[in-house]
Amino acid sequence: MASSSAAAGLLARQLKQMQNDKDIPGISCGLVDNNVFEWEVMLMINDDTKYYGGGFFRAHLSFPTEYPLMPPKMRFETPIFHPNIYASGDVCISILHPPEEDKYGYESAAERWSPVQTPETILLSVISMLSSPNDESPANVEAAAMWRENPTEFKKRVRKCVRDSQQFD
């Protein structure tokens, strides 16, 4: 049980640091039901990003009790069309994959989760991924094909996601 209380303490410190850090524009974090292992995140994407600028994307970070030895899972609650995001909203990015050799040989262990990652580095990586998708290993095959073969249509789909994300309920 000591490890989960250590993880809880670390997460509480990391959340407090992110909430107090004014150098991280466009990221807002809070707890879900006062549970330090469940974070609600709002990504307010800078207007000058190529595709998702102006979007307000709500997401969820779920941390395992083995954190920081194992990665959290991230899922967008706001619908988002992107090559590296499954239709369910689950994010597929190397740094969120467990720290082991990739059985398919696609990723090196160095690209995968490491305990030096933090919620901040995860969210900054996801924001970077939005404007630079990895279409060689897509979670959403339709989005990856459109990104490569029909950029105009891709941008139209994404702009609709951005407009929809601006409608707060």
Question: Would you name the residues annotated as active-site residues?
Answer: 92
Q: Which amino acid is at 16?
A: K
Extract the tokens encoding 148.
């490569």
Extract the tokens encoding 92.
């597929």
Extract the tokens encoding 163.
């407009």
* Cβ–Cβ under 8 Å, residues 157 and 145: no
Q: Whole-angstrom Cα distance, residue 169 to residue 166?
A: 9
| Length of the chain counted residue by residue | 169
Extract the tokens encoding 153.
């249509």
Greatest extent of the chain over all pairs of C-alpha atoms, in Å: 52
Specify the DSSP element, H or E, that contains 159: helix 151-165
Cis peptide before 119 (omega within 30 of 0): no
